Chains A and B, each alone.
Chain A
Amino acid sequence: MKLQLLTQVSKTAVWLALVILVGCAAPSQPDQSAFRNSRPTSILVLPPVNQSTDIRGSLSFLATVTQPLSEAGYYVFPVAMVEATFKENGLPLPDQIHEAPLSKLQSIFGADAVLYITLEKYGSSYVVLDSQTVVTAQARLVDARTGTVLWQARASASDAEGRDNNNGLVGVLLTSVIHQLASNIGNPGYRLSKLTSARLLTPHSGGMLYGPRSPNHGKD
C-alpha cells in the first residue's frame, strides 16, 4: 500500500518535472531591447491591409484595436478620424497608407510609434455541416522617428474554438443550426476581430509591453 502510494507520488513528480521542462523550453524570449529603449507613449494604428476577400475586414478590425492598446497604457489616435484624414489627403487605400513615409506621418500626427496590421484571414468558409469564421492578423510596431521595428506578432481567433466537444451527429447538426443562425445576427467577423485584437495587443511575456499610462509600466 505504502509502496503504491510512493510510486504514485514519483509518477506525479516525473509528470511535474516534464511539464516544468516543457514550460521552460517552449517560448524563447524575443529580444525586446529596441522596444524598451524606444519607450513609445503614443501609437498611430494605420488601417489594416486586407488580404482576405471580405471588403469589410479592414475597417471591422480597425474598430477593435483601440481598447487593448489603450488599456495597455498607450495613447491611441482616433482610428476613424485618422482613416478619414488619409482619404482627404489622397490615400484612400490601406496599401497606399502603409507606403506613406514616416516623416510625413510624423508631421501630421506626431506619433511615437506606428502600428502596421495585415489581415491574413477574415471571414467564413462553409463546409458540409457548418461554417467556420476565422480572423488572423499580423502586426508590426515601428518607431516613428527611426523606422526601427520594435515588436511584431501574429494572432488568430476562430468560432470553431470550443465547439469540438459535441458528441454524435445530432449534436453536430444542432450546433450547426444554432451557429449559422447566430452568425447572421451581427457580424461574426467583427466579434472575432475583437478576440484577435485582444490576443495580439494585450501585454504578455515576450509580447506587447505596457505603456506609460498603465500602472504596470516598467514592471514587465
Chain B
Amino acid sequence: MNCRWLGCATALLLLNACATQDHALYHWGAYQDTLYEGFRVENGNTSPEKQLQQLQQEQQKAASHGKALPPGFQAHMGYLFFQTGQSDQAVVAFENEKKQFPESSVYMDFVIGKLKKP
C-alpha cells in the first residue's frame, strides 16, 4: 500500500515537473546558478571564462529545446565576453539582447557606447 502511494506521488511529481517545463516562457537551465556562482565572494568566485562556458552550453540546450533565452542572458554573455577581453563578441551579444528584447535598447546602447569609446 505504502509503495503504491509512493509510486503515485512520484508519478504526480514527474507530471508536475513536465507541466511546469512546458509552461515556462524561457529556458533557464543553470543560468541563475551561474549568476550566483559569479557573485560568490567566498572560495574565489567562478571565473568569467567558466561562466561563459556554462552559458554557451545553456544556449545550445535552449536551441535544441526550441526555447527562448531569458531576459538578460545574452547581455550577461556580452558582459562576460567583455571581461575576457573579447570586445567584438561583446558588442554582438549586446546587439542580440536588443534584438530579442527591445526593452533593453537604452541600456544596451549605453554599454555599447562605452565599449566603442577609444
Chain A interface residues (CB < 8 Å from chain B):
41-42, 55-56, 59-60, 62-64, 66-67, 70-71, 73-81, 84-85, 107-112, 190, 194, 213-214
Residues 32-91 of B at the A interface (beta carbon under 8 Å) = 32-33, 35-36, 38-42, 70-73, 75-76, 78-79
Count of B residues near A, CB < 8 Å?
31
Known: A64-B32, A70-B70, A78-B75. A59 touches B25 (CB 8 A): no
Tell me if B79 and A63 are in contact (CB < 8 A).
no
Tell me if A70 and B110 are in contact (CB < 8 A).
no
Known: A42-B103, A108-B106. A80 touches B70 (CB 8 A): no
Known: A76-B71, A78-B72. A63 touches B105 (CB 8 A): no
Inter-chain contact count A-B, CB under 8 Å? 90
Known: A63-B39, A70-B26, A108-B106. A77 touches B70 (CB 8 A): no
- Quick one: which of B25, B28, B72, B106 has the most chain A CB within 10 A? B72
Chain B interface residues (CB < 8 Å from chain A):
24-26, 28, 31-33, 35-36, 38-42, 70-73, 75-76, 78-79, 97, 101, 103-107, 110-111
Tell me if B72 and A76 are in contact (CB < 8 A).
yes
Chain B residue nearest in CB terms to A62: B39
The 4 A-B residue pairs with the shortest CB-CB distance in the complex, in nearest-first order: A110-B106, A78-B72, A75-B103, A59-B39
Known: A56-B42, A60-B36, A70-B25. A79 touches B72 (CB 8 A): yes
Known: A42-B103, A78-B76, A108-B106. A213 touches B25 (CB 8 A): yes
On chain A, the residues within 8 Å of B104 by CB distance are: 42, 75, 77
Chain B residue nearest in CB terms to A213: B25
- Chain B binding surface SS class: helix
On chain A, the residues within 8 Å of B32 by CB distance are: 63-64, 66-67, 194
On chain B, the residues within 8 Å of A64 by CB distance are: 32, 36
CB distance from A61 to the nearest CB of B (A): 10
Tell me if A80 and B41 are in contact (CB < 8 A).
no
Tell me if B101 and A75 are in contact (CB < 8 A).
yes
Which residue from B36, B42, B79 sits with its C-beta under 8 Å from A81? Answer: B79
Tell me if A81 and B106 are in contact (CB < 8 A).
no
Tell me if A41 and B41 are in contact (CB < 8 A).
no
On chain B, the residues within 8 Å of A80 by CB distance are: 35, 38-39, 76, 79
Known: A56-B40, A81-B76, A81-B79. A63 touches B70 (CB 8 A): no
On chain A, the residues within 8 Å of B40 by CB distance are: 56, 59
Instruction: Give 6 A-B pairs besides A55-B41, A64-B36, A73-B25 with Cβ atoms closer than 8 angstroms.
Output: A56-B41, A59-B41, A66-B72, A77-B75, A80-B39, A109-B110
Q: List 29 A-B contacts (CB under 8 A).
A: A41-B103, A56-B41, A56-B42, A59-B36, A59-B40, A59-B41, A60-B36, A62-B35, A63-B36, A63-B39, A64-B32, A66-B72, A67-B32, A70-B70, A70-B71, A71-B26, A77-B71, A77-B75, A78-B76, A78-B79, A80-B38, A80-B79, A81-B111, A108-B106, A108-B107, A110-B106, A110-B107, A112-B103, A213-B25
